[in-house]
Homo-oligomer: A and B are copies of this chain.
């Protein structure tokens, strides 16, 4: 596969593909006779895996370490496992954090919903704008 094909297939820019290879985030890709990259399915799996992990917030640094361990062979299996266990721990923490933030967003949306309903009621039934100091404070929660 050419870099153009892989780039389109995995939706990663050619520059990023080259960059990832350069810094050791994916193993070196073979070149054809004319020196151009010729990606295998294996290469694609690596790239896709890296993309997935990056998307979840694993740093490039830690992923480079993983690739380096992988390339050193079987003696690093335990180290790789430990690396993933640590990253898993951090990922779980991030997810928990985000869930809490989501609840907070939900709450704010609910309050705004309420505020709008209240405002509409006021406008519809009393034809009078709410006093600046009263109702307005209601809308101004954080």
* Chain A positions near chain B (C-beta within 8 angstroms): 42, 45-46, 49, 52-53, 55-57, 70, 73-74, 77-78, 80-81, 84-85, 87-88, 91-92, 94-95, 97-102, 104-106, 108-109, 112-113, 115-116, 119, 136, 139-140, 142
When the two chains form their complex, are residues B112 and A80 in contact, meaning their CB atoms are under 8 A apart? yes
Which single residue of chain B is at the shortest CB-CB distance from A99? B95
| 6 A-B pairs whose Cβ atoms sit less than 8 Å apart in the complex | A46-B142, A73-B136, A77-B116, A84-B109, A85-B109, A87-B105
Q: Assess whether A74 is in contact with B136, with CB atoms less than 8 Å apart.
A: yes
Give complex CA distance A91, B70 in Å. 33
B residues in contact with A85, CB < 8 Å: 109
